[in-house]
């Protein structure tokens, strides 16, 4: 089983602050995805990165895939209370149809 | 489109009882999955299916069975529920050659 380690496990910040969460593995992934999960709901896909070194932006969220395709980061600029949720990374070790999930980073943005 | 629909949303079972969780998707996706989510454990794959009539074991298959008789439906069965199966269960689907699962909103199961 290829493991994805997410850090930090919990993060509580004030509105307007910046933050970065990390997703690391010793294994290479053909693609990596980030999901956000709100209480009582299923995870929702935010982005997929497939190329080493790739950077994608989604409004105030910036996602980066490591050059060696073993790690990824999610940076949020000027966090808002609506960003609160559980952020999950998931990697496809080979074929993209079977994902390995990290345990998640629980983000709380206080107004 | 409704996406992925799970029924029921909540259920309480007594130890030893059986039940079936239903997942239905209307997106014509080839792949379907059942996960359980527990505090501190993340999402763990129970069973999955790469097409109608096929199923395969995931990371934690013991105590569960699945069937995919129709492409749009994926059923998860618990034959004899145990308190260790108390969890939130998520179904997901994926279109072939695409990225990104579509998840249902979950079933919260408590076994007492």
Using DSSP, state whether A48 is helix, strand or coil.
strand
CA distance A18 to chain B (A): 25
Chain B interface includes A101 (CB < 8 A):
yes
pLDDT per position as a tens digit, B77-86: 999 999 999 9
How distant, in Å, are the alpha carbons of A70, A98, B88, B94 from that of A51?
11, 18, 33, 21
A97 touches chain B (CB under 8 A): yes
Task: Record the tokens describing residue A82, joined without a space.
Answer: 């609506």
Inter-chain contact A103–B41, Cβ cutoff 8 Å?
yes
Q: Give A8-37 pLDDT, tens digit per residue.
A: 999 999 999 999 999 999 999 989 999 999
Interface membership of A45 toward B (CB under 8 Å) = yes
pLDDT value at A2 more than 70 = no
Q: Which residues of B touch A105 (CB under 8 A)?
A: none
Q: Which of A41-55, A88-102, B26-40 has the lowest mean pLDDT?
A: A88-102
Q: Does pLDDT of A1 surpass 60?
A: no
Do residues A110 and A13 lie in contact, with contact meaning Cβ atoms separated by under 8 Å? yes
Distance from the B82 Cα atom to the nearest Cα atom in chain A, whole angstroms: 23
Among chain B residues, the shortest Cα distance to A87 is held by B42
């Amino acid at each position: 089983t290829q493991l994805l380690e997410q850090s930090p496990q919990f993060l509580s910040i004030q509105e307007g602050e910046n933050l970065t969460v990390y997703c690391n593995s010793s294994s290479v992934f053909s693609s990596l995805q980030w999901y956000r999960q709100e209480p009582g709901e299923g995870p929702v896909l935010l982005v997929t990165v497939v190329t080493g070194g790739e950077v994608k932006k989604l409004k105030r969220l910036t996602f980066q895939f490591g050059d060696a395709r073993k790690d990824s980061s999610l940076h949020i600029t000027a966090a808002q209370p609506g960003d609160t949720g559980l952020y999950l990374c998931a990697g496809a070790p080979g074929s993209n149809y079977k994902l390995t999930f990290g345990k998640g980073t629980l983000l709380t943005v206080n107004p | 489109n409704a996406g992925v629909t799970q029924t029921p949303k909540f259920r309480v079972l007594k130890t030893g009882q059986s039940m079936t969780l239903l997942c239905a998707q209307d997106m014509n996706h080839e792949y379907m999955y059942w996960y359980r989510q527990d505090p501190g454990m993340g999402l763990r794959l129970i069973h999955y299916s790469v097409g109608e009539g096929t199923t395969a074991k995931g990371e934690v298959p013991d105590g569960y069975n699945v069937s995919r008789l129709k492409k749009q439906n994926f059923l998860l069965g618990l034959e004899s529920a145990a308190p260790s199966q108390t969890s939130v269960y998520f179904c997901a689907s994926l279109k072939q050659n695409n990225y990104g699962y579509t998840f249902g909103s979950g079933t919260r199961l408590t076994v007492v």
